[in-house]
Amino acid sequence: MYRLALWKNDKLSNKSISTIKQTDVAQWRDARIASGTSGSTVKKDLALLSHVFTIAVKEWGFPLTNPVAMIRKPKSNQSRDRRLQPGEEELILSNCSHEMKAFITLAIETAMRRGEIVNLQRSWIKGRVAYLPDTKNGTPRAVPLSTTAIAAINTLPLRLDGKLFEYKEDHYSKAFLRACRQAGIEDIHVHDLRHEATSRLFEKGLDVMQVKSITGHKSLQMLSRYTHLKADDLAGLLG
C-alpha cells in the first residue's frame, strides 16, 4: 500500500499510460536514488510499475511497450548481516518498557515478523504453538513457542480486544531504536531481530526445512538472506 501511494503521488500518475516513455522512468529512477533511497527499494518500486504495464498489455489488450523493461535497474544493496553482539540484548532490554521487553523477546525467540507479533491474538495460542491465520505470504503458519517465549507472553496483561500488544507496528520500531540509542548501540533495527532469531534456530541444531517451517520463508534463497551464522560456532561444529 505504501508503494502504491508513492506512485499515486508522483507526477507520472497524471500522465496517460500510453505516453510514459523509458526516459520518464529513467529520470524517476535517478531522482529516487539521488534522494538517498536504496537500490533494493527502487527496484521494488519499479517492479510494481512494471506489473501495471504487464497487466495492461496481457490482460487489457493495450498496444504498449513496457518502459520499465527498457531501462537499467539499480543494483540491490548488500543484505544486512547485523547480529546482536554479546551483551547487547541485555543492554537493550534494560532500556525497554515492560511491554517492549516482551515484544523483543518474542521476536528473538520465534523469528516472527513485526506485524505478526503486533497482531498476535491470545486465542491463537494453543499450548506451546501460535497459530497465525494470515501472514505476509498469504498463508497460515504454526509457530512453536519456546519456554522463554511463553514466559514473555505470560507477563502481558489480558486485554479486552484479545490482542497481546497495545500499539501499532511503528510504535515498536521507534521504541526499539530509542532503547538502542539509550544503550549506546548503533546500526540495528527491529527487522534485524528476525535475522538474529533465524540464525539462532540453526545454531540450536534445526535443519533447513524445520527453520523454513518456523520462519515462513517461501524459498531457501530468501531464507539464506536472513541467516548469518557465527563463524566461531561453525568452527566448533567442525571439531
Rounded distance between C-alpha atoms, residue 144 and residue 204, angstroms: 14
Catalytic residue among 29, 32, 101, 113: 113
C-beta of residue 226 within 8 angstroms of C-beta of residue 211 = no
Task: Identify whether 226 is a catalytic site residue.
Answer: yes
Catalytic residue among 32, 195, 226, 228: 226
C-beta of residue 47 within 8 angstroms of C-beta of residue 89 = no
Task: Identify whether 80 is a catalytic site residue.
Answer: no
**Cα angle vertex 139, ends 134, 142, to 5°?**
75
Task: Identify whether 217 is a catalytic site residue.
Answer: yes
Catalytic residue among 43, 80, 82, 191: 191
Helical axes 22-34 vs 39-58, angle rounded to 10°: 160
Task: Identify whether 163 is a catalytic site residue.
Answer: no
Catalytic residue among 114, 194, 195, 200: 194
Helical axes 208-215 vs 192-203, angle rounded to 10°: 150
- Give how far Cα 196 sits from Cα of 59, 118, 135, Å: 42, 18, 20
Catalytic residue among 136, 159, 178, 204: 136
Position 233: which residue type? D
Rounded distance between C-alpha atoms, residue 118 and residue 168, angstroms: 7
Rounded distance between C-alpha atoms, residue 88 and residue 229, angstroms: 17
Catalytic residue among 101, 141, 212, 217: 217
Closest residue by Cα to residue 80 from 208, 206, 225, 177: 225
Going by the DSSP 8-state scheme, the letter that residue 74 receives in this structure is P
Task: Identify whether 122 is a catalytic site residue.
Answer: no
Task: Identify whether 195 is a catalytic site residue.
Answer: no
List active site positions. Answer: 113, 136, 191, 194, 217, 226
